[in-house]
Amino acid sequence: MIRGYNFAMPLKGKSSKMKNIQKTPQTFTFIDLFAGIGGIRTAFERVGARCVFSSEWDEDCKLTYQANFGEIPQGDITKINSDSIPDHDILTGGFPCQSFSIIGKRLGVSDPRGTMFWEIEKILKAKKPYAFLLENVKQLTTIDGGDTFRTMLKILKDLGYYTHWKVLNALDFGWPQKRERVIIVGFQKNHPFKFPDKLYIKTKLEDLLESDEKVDKKHFISDHIKEKLKEKVKETYNYATIWHENKSGNIGVHEYSCALRANASYNYLLVNGRRRLTPRENLRLMGFPDIFKIVVSDSAIRKQAGNSVAVPMIQGVAEQMMVALNQEPIKI
């Protein structure tokens, strides 16, 4: 099991009124859009919320999701009638980010993949959930000089939501992966929401790594590559490290992982300069526990982990949403 992180129990406190119904964290319902393998769902279930609908189009992701949550997500959200989605309190979604990523073409909303935000807008209009949490790459805030992002925020405001956003880093949540993402949170009323502070109790990289003796030999690099690396990194380290080779061929040695990516991570990240990450280590670095089942190929799980959210970071935000929802809205 993953050690070193205190996954909080559901919060307790005075309940708030949502749609004139008394709610406790345990009775908040949410939907899981662009669900992937359920990172956001994992985070919200840890704070006591209940998922009532999920949507994901990737077939391998659906297999992993079914194995771990006991249900098959519905498919392509663009083909689902919004009226058929169950009523819910919180909409969540890490909508596709290829359009905004530094490794994509940065086409923004002119790219069809960028239009997935408009699917979110459509559901917010139709179902009017009380709150939402959206996640994307930090580049979303700067593409087109910030125009795309400002347009999105205006749309959310026009839909009647008090909106908060911030770029967060999984490293600040005690997790050994440098993964920066913009998080957007909104409420129908002006609840006193604050993004979580940094955590100073950290999970060490060594807590997430498997013992070399138990790792399949296929993950180890060749002696030839190892000798080439030694020419670039002459220091020795008596603690766990991830070696990161950038496009220029320079190698950084860190006590954390650089951001996992859907396809490239296997090649450019090395554990202690000796081997590549295993599928289990990829999941651990995203914050999934060891009870999370692996039912697809190594390459598929690497892609799924690279496209996932950092669960501890999302959980921290979800906890703060529960705190805000259990406080009276600010009167203006």
* Residue in the structure block whose two tokens are 């919180």: 90
Helix axes 311-325, 39-46, angle to 10 degrees: 40
Catalytic residue among 51, 61, 97, 258: 97
Q: Are 178 and 171 in contact (CB under 8 A)?
A: yes
Distance CA 260, CA 281 (A): 11
Cα–Cα nearest to 174, from 195, 207, 203: 203
Sorted by sequence, the CB contacts under 8 Å of residue 282 that are 6+ apart come out as 260, 265, 301, 302, 305, 306
Distance CA 305, CA 281 (A): 10
Q: What is the DSSP letter of 87?
A: P
Concerning whether 97 is annotated as a catalytic residue, the answer is yes
Tally of CB atoms within 10 A around 141: 19
The phi and psi torsions of 180 (rounded to 5 degrees) equal -100, 130
Q: Are 165 and 187 in contact (CB under 8 A)?
A: no
Q: Are 32 and 40 in contact (CB under 8 A)?
A: yes
CA quadruple 23, 25, 31, 34: dihedral, nearest 10? 150
Instruction: Point out the residues that are catalytic.
Output: 97
